[in-house]
Amino acid sequence: MARPRCSNAVFTSFNVLTLLLGAVVLAGGIYAGAPRHRGATDCERFLRAPALILGAAIVVVSAAGIAGACFRASLLLWLYLLLAALLILAALCFAAFALAVTNAGAGRAVSGGGFKEYRLGDYSSWLRRRVEDGRTWGRIRSCLTEARVCRSLQRNRTFDEFVNDHLSPVQSGCCKPPTECNFTYLNETYWTKPPSPSNSSNPDCNTWSNDQSELCYGCQSCKAGVLGNLKNSWKKIAIINAAFIVLLIVVYSLGCCVLRNNRRHKYTLVGK
């Protein structure tokens, strides 16, 4: 019999690696949903469902591939190829969706400052609806509070030092009032309103509070800042997703080759 063009061992090795990866993701999802006394936070719980779904999918697909290759079970290999094709399709759909919803929206440079400010209306309607939903925003706000994104700014700097700092979108939107409100700077998270009413129509000017648990967490600019951070994160995820798609296609091709080898092996045994 001619030597197979690809080895079952190579295919199995790839799937053992992906199985371990899936197990790590699945374990992370389970840990994120652990009771609060074990240290889980609302922020971590928010990530539980995606981690469980992704981890379980990778484990199931990898296990089907390993079993099919080791036991020369064509049925399992067909199941593996079907599930792998669905994963590739899902990854491609996610890439297209992420590009569509994050294409709009960009920060606006502040004159004389080293940071940008963000407006909610600049982003896609789908993203706006997500952060404007009260329940969803309540969970995001809880995450921001637990992460202490604003407390990290408190370093008793002068106004010039503060405005020339490179604030993240979330820090710019949630930890200070919008520049157009003309508030007076006292420290990084404490600002005083002008004595006369502001001419700005921005509702965030009235939403701002010096209460350190409130600040601008209820502002439109804070929601826009979260979307700005999300857009930056999704750019990085897009790179990982592209690498994941390439890996899936390579392993899928190996699976097709292993299935063909199994069929040849079966016909050889029948011929004998």
Q: Where are the domains of the chain?
A: 7-104+233-271, 108-225
Per-residue pLDDT at 202: 92
Instruction: Report the run of H or E that residue 187 belongs to, with start and end.
Output: strand 184-187
Per-residue pLDDT at 114: 80
Say if residues 110 and 163 touch (Cβ distance below 8 Å).
yes
Mean pLDDT of 257-263: 83
65-93 pLDDT tens trace: 999 988 888 899 999 999 999 999 998 99
Say if residues 146 and 208 touch (Cβ distance below 8 Å).
no
Q: How far apart are CA 18 and CA 33, in angstroms?
A: 23
Q: How far apart are CA 16 and CA 22, in angstroms?
A: 10
Say if residues 262 and 18 touch (Cβ distance below 8 Å).
no
96-122 pLDDT tens trace: 888 888 887 778 888 777 889 999 999
Per-residue pLDDT at 217: 95
Instruction: Report residue 263's pLDDT band, with 50, 70 and 90 as the boundaries.
Output: confident
Share of the chain above pLDDT 70, in %: 88
Say if residues 173 and 215 touch (Cβ distance below 8 Å).
no
Give 62's contacts (C-beta < 8 A, 6+ positions apart).
15, 16, 18, 19, 22
Per-residue pLDDT at 265: 65
177-193 pLDDT tens trace: 999 999 999 999 999 99
Token pair 């061992």 is at which residue? Answer: 9
Q: What share of the chain is helix, strand, coil (3-state, %, to 5)?
A: 65, 5, 30
